[in-house]
Amino acid sequence: METYNSFKITQQQLREAAKVLNLDQSTIDLLSWPQKEFKYTLPVKMDDGKIKIFHAYRIQYNHARGPAKGGIRFHPEETVDTIRALAAWMTWKTAVVDLPLGGGKGGIKCNPKEMSKRELENLSREYIRAIATHIGIDRDIPAPDVYTNPQTMAWMMDEYETLTNKHQPGVFTDKPEQVGGTEGRRDATARGGVITVREACKTYGYDPTKDYAIQGFGNAGQRAALLHQEILGGGNLIAVSDSKAAIFNKNGFDAKELVKYKLTTGSVYNFPGGESIDHNDLLELKVEVLYPAALENAITKENAGKIKAKVICELANGPTTPEADIILQEKGIHLIPDILASAGGVTVSYFEVVQDSYSYFWSEEQVHQRLDQKLTKAYHSVQEAINDKKVHPRLGAMVVGVARVAQACKLRGWV
């Protein structure tokens, strides 16, 4: 199977948007690369007393619209190019939802599943000691991503505050609520995605009460399973997968029980009533809505032609390759692209920074309502661009995001 370089994909997506927007060459050259990249070699004391070396990155892709913003991933297959790609997508994503932020991303090449809690804490703190001078509420604001969580953020924030001798919780988002986190963050990404599905159903007549499937049953996938039914008033969850297993039940799973089971056992494997299926088959099921919520490059030119979903809501970052985008468009599938569909997380993270900055916190209802306003508006701006420019959905979203970033670069006199 072909291997995909996500960063080359983001560069290609940018060139396509630049062509539609008629951007000049210096703007294209500026936006094709990160503005700042940091690479670290981290020595960490492990439980057996030995020192292990980890390779880590922080990339600030573009800060024309505000401080860089983006998660930190712990993953064994992390490379500088996956981080560059994720940082680029964050830049377009914050612009699509019109937040006063830029885009960034960080990552550490490690296997958290083989590390103890203490080793993960040591690694998190060592990473912050390395990057501390380059982050800050007015420079770069990290958050969790794959295999990192609010606990990771609490350790990182604590290390940062110790180093700077200041209380400044807003430098990290998605923290536990007891240390400056916001209401409504845990389900924000999925909530944002489901809001965009709601708008698609209202506008184009899809029926959310029919079948849906979820690839990747982590934070985003589990919340989508529940919120799909809560916000859209029904729906039959017929298949889910995680890295260990993919399961199917044509009558639908009890989403609450399935989430409970996953949280207790660590996997959806062997969930009672679930028939085991091939991971790839899940993506090709006949469903009304498909949520890719795992990793990059799940939908490629090899399988795009076989996808039968009517709506694809990309909660994962970069789950579809550019060739697959064209195939999905030709098939008339309503794709809600990642930089729109998964923007709920960063939107509520932004709300968290705002609340931390004046130490006054909103109710969960206020967070939900403001998130809904942002995502609904962004969904319709993207639809407008798709219709005006006659482009496929990802290109429509890119056109909205890239235009805003390019404009900020121009106003600053960079290009």
Question: Mind telling me the catalytic residues?
Answer: 105
DSSP 41-97: EEEEE-TTS-EEEEEEEEEEEE-SSSSEEEEEEE-TT--HHHHHHHHHHHHHHHHHT
Least separation in angstroms between residue 50's CB and ligand NAD is 27
CB nearer ligand NAD, residue 28 or residue 83: 83
Measured from the CB atom, the residue of 93 and 310 that comes closer to ligand NAD is: 93
Task: Select 110 or 315, whichever has its Cβ closest to ligand NAD.
Answer: 315
Backbone dihedral region for residue 66 (phi beyond 0: left; psi -120 to 50: alpha; all else: beta):
left
Do the Cβ atoms of 103 and 71 come closer than 8 Å?
Answer: no
CA–CA gap between residue 195 and residue 26 (Å, rounded): 37
**Which strands, in side-by-side order, build the sheet including 103-109?**
36-45, 51-62, 103-109, 68-74, 140-144
DSSP 313-344: E--SSS-B-HHHHHHHHHTT-EEE-HHHHTTH
Nearer to ligand NAD, 112 or 235 (CB): 112
Stretch (H or E) spanning 142 = strand 140-144
What are the distances in angstroms from CA 269 to CA 25, 187, 219, 245, 250? 50, 23, 17, 5, 17
Q: Interface residues with ligand NAD (CB under 6 A)?
A: 145-147, 189, 215-221, 241-243, 279, 293-295, 315-317, 342, 345
Contact criterion met (CB below 8 Å) for 4 and 296 = yes
Q: Between 159 and 242, whose beta carbon lies closer to ligand NAD?
A: 242
Minimum distance from residue 253 beta carbon to ligand NAD (Å): 15
Tell the smallest beta-carbon distance from residue 207 to ligand NAD (Å): 25
Report, in Å, the least distance between residue 341 CB and ligand NAD: 9
For residues 187 and 223, give the distance between their C-alpha atoms in angstroms, rounded to a whole number.
6
CB of 349 to ligand NAD, least distance (A): 8
Neighbours of 268 (CB within 10 A): 25
